[in-house]
Amino acid sequence: MNWLFDVFIAPFLEFAFMQKALLGASMLSLSAGPVGVFLMLRRMSLTGDAMAHAILPGAAAGFLMFGLEIVPMTIGGLAAGVVVALAAGAVSRFTIQKEDASMAAFYLIALSVGVVMVSMRGSSIDLMHVLFGTVLALNTDALVLIGLVAATTMLTLAVFWRALVAECLDPLFLRSVSRLGSPVHFIFLGLVVLNLVAGFQALGTLLSVGLMVLPAVSARFWARRVETMALLAVAIGMASSISGLLLSYHLSLPSGPAMILSAGVAYAVSVVAGRRGLLITLRPRPSHRTA
């Protein structure tokens, strides 16, 4: 039994950086999991990925002016995410281009601009930090930011839960019976940007959407109710965070990618063995023919 303790428990008891990484990843899972479920139900998962890249120029601007400081990079990332989301929406509204195409164009431009901006001042290590994060280097300021985002997300979801569910299932009906239709949509986009900025502190711009989308799409194979999917997404996110951190510690792997890879394994298992996975859908059905 000692080896079980050494493998699974000791790293989190002996090292403060592992404890902070676990706390930050757990709060991210608690916050981003339910948001990812609504993102998936709205068929906006790729939009979330695009918005994750869109925060890079703002974060890079904060980095150029203040270095790797939490507050300037966070404010810059929030501003850039909002600007790109509004710009892509305006292009799709007033031109012939669809929202997915305009979002893809803006996120590619934003990603390239952000990389160039970081490269102007920083080293390749700084660029890797911005792109892939450093969950094992989370400090108190980053944990406070992630905690505030998680608390804000939980409170907002509690207040607007029914409206968010209705807006996913039948947005036209919600707008016909309530004035919350359009405000709820923008509130939800705000939650997406907030959680992407919080995830950026730990996982970088390229992977921050991972804990939002992968646990949510995995939960879809196990549950039908939105509430159950949200709880499962949180559980899968936390399990992926723990396993990823342990893999990073024992095998000297990059921590952020290890966490997202663990979430990817959970997704693969769900696709095959979930209650609505391949083993169930492809199982031969009994014949009702009589001799």
> CA 37, CA 220: separation in Å to the nearest integer?
8
188, 198 in Cβ contact below 8 A? no
> CA 22, CA 147: separation in Å to the nearest integer?
13
At 95 the three-state DSSP class reads coil
Domains observed in the chain: 2-277 (1.10.3470.10)
The pLDDT-based confidence of 148 (bands split at 50, 70, 90) is very high
Q: Is the pLDDT of residue 98 over 80?
A: no
How much of the chain exceeds pLDDT 90, in percent? 39
> CA 103, CA 84: separation in Å to the nearest integer?
8
Please state the rounded mean pLDDT for residues 260-280.
Answer: 93
137, 17 in Cβ contact below 8 A? yes
Q: At what angle do helices 45-54 and 181-207 cross, to 10 degrees?
A: 60
Q: Which two tokens stand for residue 248?
A: 């990073």
Closest CA to 142 of 242, 51, 71: 71
Neighbours of 71 (CB within 10 A): 11
Q: Running DSSP on this structure, what letter comes out for residue 43?
A: T
pLDDT score for 267 = 96
Rounded to two decimals, the pTM is: 0.88
> CA 269, CA 21: separation in Å to the nearest integer?
25
> CA 60, CA 271: separation in Å to the nearest integer?
37
Q: How far is the CA of 199 from the CAs of 35, 96, 183, 187, 233, in angstroms?
A: 13, 33, 24, 18, 16
The pLDDT-based confidence of 5 (bands split at 50, 70, 90) is confident
What's the chain's average pLDDT?
A: 86
pLDDT score for 291 = 45
Q: How far is the CA of 109 from the CAs of 51, 115, 130, 193, 208, in angstroms?
A: 12, 10, 17, 18, 18
Residue that is written with structure tokens 């063995």 in the block: 273
